[in-house]
Structure 1
Amino acid sequence: MKSIHTDLAPKALGPYSQGISCDGWFYSSGQIALGQDGQMVGEDIETQARQVFANLGAVLGAAGLSFVQVVKVTVYLKDLEDFGKLNAIYAEAFGEHKPARSCVQVARLPKDALVEIEVIATRS
């Protein structure tokens, strides 16, 4: 098992890793729209979602992976009314690749983010 860290994504807000590689699998921690300085980026779902995908891309890259190796995505939205807007940004990030996905509305996210996303990827 190997802890993954990159300075190209925000530091973890608590006692956890940005991601873990284990037995050919990669598990990311949830990413919110924090910039490298630890401050929230944007106040709208589009800006925050783009930052979340930038963070995920950086953590995946640090693990030697990319979005095409993602097999499962979990999306936490503050408001399901943002589902359509999120899907547009999601499609930009994944292109033709369509991993399995869950999307749920939650009462609150860290730092009052509008979206948090975590991924599972494989090296095979």
Structure 2
Amino acid sequence: MNKVMANDAPPPVGLYPHARKVGNLLFLSGVGPRKKGSKDIPGVSLDEDGNITAYCIETQCRSVFENVRLVLEASGSSWDELVDVTVFLTNMDDDFATYNKVYAEYFASNQPCRTTVEINKLPTPIAIELKCIAVIKE
């Protein structure tokens, strides 16, 4: 099993790779909206204690999708090779409609299997995280 670290993506927040290749499958670790080289999170406003004061789910969605693309490309795969996407939202009631609209833009041509679940919180002050599986064409 080969570990993949994507140089252009933000680093993982723990001791794990961005992805692992197993045969012709690529398993991505959870990907959030952070940007490489910055402590700012697109679409998130924090108070001085690090608590979320406001956020834009659309901005976070677009940033997450871009980070997934960076990991896929660094791994020898691509957006069109995604076969399964698990989405974690921290506020299904308020965010699902916007997330679903943005998701439809990005996945208009490739429609992988998808599961969306609401969770209490994520390890960083974000409202969305994706866990993906893709194919690597040899």
Q: Fold match, TM over 0.5?
A: yes
TM-score, scaled to structure 1: 0.94
Flag structure 1 segments of 5+ consecutive residues without an equivalent: none
**In the alignment, does 2:75 pair up with 1:63?**
yes
Residue 38 of structure 1, CA deviation: 4.5
Q: Does 1:12 align with 2:25?
A: no
Structure 1 or 2: more helix by fraction: 1
Structure 1 residue 87: deviation in Å?
1.3
Structure with bigger gyration radius: 2
Identity, % of aligned pairs? 33
Per the TM alignment, residue 92 of structure 1 is displaced from its structure 2 partner at its CA by 2.1
After the TM superposition, which segments of 4 or more aligned residues of structure 1 sit over 2 Å from their partners? none
Q: Which residue of 2 aligns with 1:94?
A: 107
Q: CA deviation at 1:17?
A: 0.4
| 1:55-108 Cα distance to aligned partner (Å, 9 max, x none) | 000000001111111110000000112111111221222222111111000000
Note the residue ranges of structure 2 that are not aligned, 5 or more in a row: 45-55
Number of equivalences: 124
| Aligned-partner SS, 2:124 | helix
Distance 1:26 1:87 in 2: 24
Whether the 8 Å contact between 2:20 and 2:28 is mirrored in structure 1 is yes
User: What RMSD in Å do the two structures reach over aligned CA positions?
Assistant: 1.2
Mean alpha-carbon deviation: is it higher for 97-106 or for 38-47? 38-47
Moved more, 79-88 or 36-45: 36-45
What pairs up with 1:1-124 in 2 under 5 angstroms? 1-39=1-39, 40-43=41-44, 44-81=56-93, 82-123=95-136
Partner residue in 1 for 2:53: none
CA contact (8 A) 2:33 2:63 kept: yes
Between 82-91 and 51-60, the greater mean CA deviation after superposition: 82-91
The normalised TM-score by structure 2 is 0.85
